[in-house]
Structure 1
Amino acid sequence: MTTLAGLLCDAADGRFPPSDGGWVRVPPWRAGVGAVLAFTGFAVLAVDGPLPRQVDGFGGAHDPRLITALAGPDGWIDSLDALLVARGTGGPPALRARNDLADHPRAAFARAVRDDVRVLGRADGDDVAVLGRGIAGLAELSMEVPAGRRGGAGRALVRDALTCVPDGEVVVAAVAPGNAASLRALLAAGFVPIGSSQLFRRAPAP
């Protein structure tokens, strides 16, 4: 049985699904959250229920009409993100729990779509790294540094966050392509792009 976690871990090792326009369907990894993911020429739909449109792995999976139909007229649709992977480095954690940053927007968003969320940072300052069980149940990282500290601080924060994940464990990060600051920081810290992802939630039934 194909699993999304397996596909992502394979991609982290450079083994990608065939780029033949195919696609597979897998169960959602979190109740209430669906997703459409794409690799080169291949797509994965983590959805429940019937599919409202034709799907293909040559870009059709990210047709805006598909995600709109899946989410429904009152559903929530996240941005279409670049999907990147790295591996935890383990060792003594370079960051500590920062419960005082628990209400940070990054943390609030993570709790809505991930499980086992941890809010991390240094002993002081406003740099925040958020780790949780996200896409496919894998460790997922998001982070933010104040605008005035950009220019290397983001890269250092990402590298420090990876020390909080066991050595060798796959870590994913989803970032909007327009968020160039975060994208540059992730790439500089060793993350590599493997595809794209878009989350959605249907509105609760009345």
Structure 2
Amino acid sequence: MHPIAEALTRAANGDFPPVDGVVERVAPWRDGVEGVLAMTGHALLAVGGDVTAEQVEALGGNGFGGASGPRLVAGLAGTGWIDALDIVLVAGGVGGEPGLVPRSDLRNHPRAQHATSVRSEVATFGHVAVDDHTLVTLSRGIGGLPEVGVEADPRHEGVGADLAAAALTLVPEGEVVVAACAPGNARALRAFLGAGWVPVASVQLWHPARG
């Protein structure tokens, strides 16, 4: 298990890293994607071996917020693409009878395309009606853990929490699942919280282009 997956799995069970201000260096979990997972007073930085400890320190890297600082992230990404800073939420899969069906016709949805750019094994699900554009993505995401993304059909109101709960039927019972949500997307954040998801960290990803 990747160290970030291990940290998130422990956090899902209430076991967090020490509040020591440390930036823990780990290898990237996916080729071409780097990132930082920040927890309370401790961060895990997934970067290539060409990045030195001296560079991280010079860019202000520390476990008390510095590892997510714009200066450090921009410095490590170089001219590469940088994703938004997200809240990381965790939950447990529930398995059982899926409340969603495979929807390969939604692969071109912008949310699915974004998932493909930073995650692996992306599958798209939704409701049976072909004119319903509700989307749930399931993939191998942060640290290699199952990661879901959700977006309700804009014609439906107040269904976000139900959708965030339905996504858990796609994952075997008890398996830790993660989701990333922009802090400013209050509607989505309330939906995840309403479905029992728990915030444990922040994450920011980038495609490095150094030099």
State the shift of 1:22 in Å. Answer: 1.4
Aligned counterpart, 2:40: 40
The aligned runs of 1:140-155 (5 Å cut-off) are 140-151=147-158, 153-155=159-161
Q: Which residue of structure 2 aligns with residue 107 of structure 1?
A: 112
Contact 2:81-2:206 within 8 A present in 1 as well: yes
Which residue of structure 2 aligns with residue 23 of structure 1?
Answer: 23
Q: How far, CA to CA, are the matches of 1:23 and 1:168 in structure 2?
A: 29
% identical aligned pairs: 51
Question: Aligned with 1:84: secondary structure?
Answer: strand
Q: 1:95 to 1:106 in 2, by over 3 A?
A: same
Cα-Cα RMSD:
1.5
Counterpart of 1:50, as a letter, is V
For residue 102 of structure 2, the aligned residue among 63, 80, 97 is 97
State the 1:145 CA deviation: 1.0
Q: TM-score, normalised by structure 1?
A: 0.94
- 1:173 is aligned, of 171, 179, 200, to 179
Deviation at 1:203, TM superposition (A): 3.2
Distance 1:204 1:110 in 2: 23
| Residues 61-110 of structure 1 deviation map (CA, whole Å, 9 limit, x = unaligned) | 011110001100x2110001111100100011111101111111111111
Q: Which amino acid aligns with 2:143?
A: A
Using the size of structure 2 for normalisation, the TM-score is 0.92
CA positional deviation for 1:53: 3.1
Q: In structure 2, list runs of 5 or more residues that go unmatched.
A: none
What is the aligned partner in structure 1 of residue 144 from structure 2? 137
Name the CA distance, whole Å, in 2 between partners of 1:116 and 1:75. Answer: 23
Report the counterpart of residue 121 of structure 2 in structure 1.
Answer: 116
Q: Is the contact made by 2:96 and 2:169 (CA closer than 8 Å) also made in structure 1?
A: yes
In structure 2, the residue matched to 1:53 is 56
- Aligned with 1:183 (options 178, 189, 192): 189
Please give the per-residue CA displacement for 1:146-186, whole angstroms capped at 9, x wherever unaligned: 344232x1111111111010000110011110011111111
Which contiguous aligned blocks of 4+ residues in structure 1 show a shift greater than 2 angstroms? none
Q: Secondary structure at the match of 2:24?
A: strand
Deviation at 1:204, TM superposition (A): 8.3
Q: Deviations over 1:21-52 (max 9, x none)?
A: 11211110000000011000001001102142
d(CA) in 1 for partners of 2:138, 2:98: 13
Q: Which amino acid aligns with 1:53?
A: V
1:64 aligned onto 2:70:
yes
SS class of match (2:165):
helix
